[in-house]
């Protein structure tokens, strides 16, 4: 393998939109700072990405940025959705490590370091150790949730997971700093299992432990939001780079480097955005619209869809709803076209929105969200308060932090009925409660935006990361 003084960083994300997006932002930032980058997707996601990315102009702008791909083990044509994510995890575990090893061996320029998703540790860490390449682990969750994952085995030992007596409102006791914050129902969704030897729970316990063999941890959060728990994580990782909100840091650095936003990739994603909703938003009054999106993975049943629909219509507020083609599942699903007909009066439906732009639009006054971490950070940065309906992964922890720690929204976890939706939308959009919530929402928006300006905490941490990667070069 050739060696040069230009650092070469290889990225390995988990194959999901919410993981690829922040890692791609970081990859572009490092590339702008002079690193050669190789971004490794699965074949399936690579094809999706390339189907609507102009690769020629991307490479004209960023000649030192390469895409590579490895198989995910599922047969072509099979859906990669939440319903078969266990199967995907199984096949990935079977094929990703040898494929990644082969890619590393055959690459002409030896990577200076690998930035691997914490949940891809099984594919990256052994191989990197064998080849003597440093690994930095990137956890796409926030610090609070990352800390919670480090206590999964303690939760099992303490008998708090699985939940034997079914009392979901009991406070958990064995996560330092979160004793008075998290209840059983606020634990990550992988804790909602019947047996302690559940294979998915055990996969996450293993991955969380394996990632500690990395030399440092990157988190898409900012110091001012989670300082106490970041310092607790220092007991596990001596080096932690908090560089979020990455989408905002990306915009801030791109502006500083005087790269126009249209010249930058500005969010390479797996799906093509439908921008028609921006014109609709232009016609709506200031802060009147509730934006509704459940991210890239969460599904709704027909019943849940109807409860949300009635709650939204009954609230009397205009709403913009992202209905992905695979959002609604089940035998008696709802045709998105049918939904569009019903909502025509007051709502607007798109299959995939330019979410960052939507949240920054002056007509948007609230966000009904699944509490994915990217969506939460994007909402915080835009100063938009939230109603949270968490479903999977870190979302239960995130929504608890939103409502109880940061006080920038409401948590409707484990309920889904039209009257709750209607009440919370009204409370969020125009009640005295909104005034209270807006005080902390505005303050965290200010802190988030300050952290990505020159001299801010995330901006400076990115500089440190760039410097540390340079010092790894031979
Ligand atoms: C998942 C987990 O839920 C999340 O918590 C974890 O940290 C990463 O993996 P996902 O369910 O996709 O991610 O949610 P989220 O983290 O919110 O990411 C969704 C991303 O897609 C956001 O960056 C959002 O801006 C983007 N998006 C969503 C769009 O661009 N358009 C849309 O219409 C909807």
Q: Whose CA is nearest to atom 30 of ligand 1?
A: 355
Averaged over 345-370, what is the pLDDT? 95
Residue 186, ligand 1, Cβ within 6 A: no
Residue nearest to atom 31 of ligand 1 (CA): 353
Q: Indicate if the pLDDT at residue 4 is higher than 80.
A: no
Among 77-86, 319-328, 359-368, top mean pLDDT goes to: 359-368
Q: How confident is the model at residue 266 (pLDDT cuts 50, 70, 90)?
A: very low
- Say whether pLDDT at 350 is over 50: yes
Which of 372, 393, 402 to probe ligand 1 with, by most ligand atoms within 8 A of CB?
Answer: 372
pLDDT confidence of residue 340 = 66
Q: ipTM score of the complex? A: 0.98
- Between the alpha carbon of residue 61 and those of residues 38, 204, 267, 291, 357, the distances in Å are 15, 38, 15, 33, 23
What residues are labeled active site? 19, 117
- pLDDT for the residue 82: 80
To the question of pTM greater than 0.90 for the whole model, the response is yes
| Ligand 1 atom having least distance to the Cα of 322 | 33
Q: What is the pLDDT of residue 329?
A: 87
35 CB within 6 A, ligand 1: no
Q: Has residue 332 got a pLDDT over 80?
A: no
Question: Among 147-151, 181-185, 339-343, which is the least confidently predicted range?
Answer: 339-343
Closest atom of ligand 1 to 356 CA is 25
| Cα 109 to averaged position of ligand 1 atoms, centre (Å) | 32
Per-residue pLDDT tens for 377-435?
A: 999 999 999 999 999 999 999 999 999 999 999 999 999 999 999 999 999 999 899 99
Does the pLDDT of residue 336 top 80, yes or no? no
How does pLDDT run across 112-152, given as a tens digit for each residue? 999 999 999 999 999 999 999 999 999 999 999 999 999 99
User: Is the distance from the beta carbon of residue 17 to the nearest atom of ligand 1 less than 6 Å?
Assistant: yes
Q: Please give the distance, rounded to the nearest whole angstrom, from the Cα atom of residue 2 to the centre of ligand 1.
A: 37
Give percent of the chain with pLDDT exceeding 90: 80
Q: CB neighbours of 274 closer than 8 A, spacing ≥ 6?
A: 350, 351, 352, 353
Q: What is the pLDDT of residues 13-64, one digit of tens each?
A: 999 999 999 999 999 999 999 999 999 999 999 998 888 777 777 777 788 9
From the CB of 373, is ligand 1 less than 6 Å away? yes
Please give the pLDDT value at position 13: 97
Q: pLDDT tier at 68 (50, 70, 90 boundaries)? A: very high
Mean pLDDT for the chain overall: 92
Q: Which domains does the chain have, with CATH numbers?
A: 8-162+198-260+452-471 (3.40.50.2000), 275-450 (3.40.50.2000)
């Amino acid at each position: 393998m050739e060696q040069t003084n230009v650092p070469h960083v290889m990225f390995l994300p988990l194959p999901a939109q919410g993981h690829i997006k922040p890692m791609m932002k970081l990859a572009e930032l490092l590339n702008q700072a002079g690193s050669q980058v190789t971004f490794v997707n699965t074949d399936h996601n690579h094809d999706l990405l390339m189907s609507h990315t102009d690769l020629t102009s991307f490479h004209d702008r960023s000649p030192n940025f390469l895409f590579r791909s490895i198989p995910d083990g599922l047969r072509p044509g099979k859906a990669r959705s939440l319903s078969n994510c266990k199967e995907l995890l199984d096949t990935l575990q079977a094929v990703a490590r040898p494929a990644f090893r082969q890619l590393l061996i055959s690459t002409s320029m030896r990577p200076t370091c690998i930035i691997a998703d914490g949940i891809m540790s099984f594919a990256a860490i052994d191989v990197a150790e064998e080849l003597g390449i440093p690994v930095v682990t990137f956890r796409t969750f926030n610090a609070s949730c990352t800390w919670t994952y480090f206590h999964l085995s303690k939760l099992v030992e303490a008998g708090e997971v699985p939940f034997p007596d079914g009392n979901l409102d009991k406070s958990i006791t064995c996560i330092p700093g979160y004793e008075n914050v998290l209840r059983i129902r606020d634990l990550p969704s992988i804790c909602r299992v019947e047996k302690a030897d559940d294979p998915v729970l055990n996969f996450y316990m293993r991955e969380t432990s394996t990632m500690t063999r990395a030399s440092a941890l990157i988190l898409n959060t900012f110091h001012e939001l989670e300082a106490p728990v970041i310092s607790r994580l220092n007991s596990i990782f001596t080096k932690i780079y908090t560089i979020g909100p990455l989408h905002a840091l990306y915009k801030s650095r791109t502006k500083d480097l005087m790269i126009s936003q249209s010249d930058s990739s500005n969010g390479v994603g797996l799906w093509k955005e439908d921008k028609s909703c921006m014109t609709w938003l232009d016609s709506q009054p200031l802060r009147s619209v509730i934006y509704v999106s459940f991210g890239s993975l969460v599904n709704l049943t027909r019943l849940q869809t109807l409860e949300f629909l009635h709650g939204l219509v009954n609230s009397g507020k205009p709403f913009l709803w992202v209905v992905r083609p695979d959002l609604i599942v089940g035998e008696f699903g709802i045709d998105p076209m049918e939904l569009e007909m019903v909502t025509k009066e007051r709502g607007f439906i798109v299959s995939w929105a330019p979410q960052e732009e939507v949240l920054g639009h002056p007509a948007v006054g609230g966000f009904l969200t699944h509490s994915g971490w990217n969506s939460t950070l994007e909402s915080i940065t835009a100063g938009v308060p939230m109603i949270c309906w968490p479903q999977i992964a870190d979302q239960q922890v995130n929504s608890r932090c939103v409502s109880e720690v940061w006080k920038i929204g409401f948590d409707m976890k484990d309920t889904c009925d039209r009257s709750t939706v209607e009440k919370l939308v009204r409370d969020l959009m125009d009640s005295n409660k909104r005034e209270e919530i807006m005080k902390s929402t505005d303050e965290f928006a200010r802190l988030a935006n300050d952290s990505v300006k020159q001299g801010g905490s995330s901006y400076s941490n990115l500089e440190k990361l760039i410097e540390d990667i340079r010092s790894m070069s031979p």
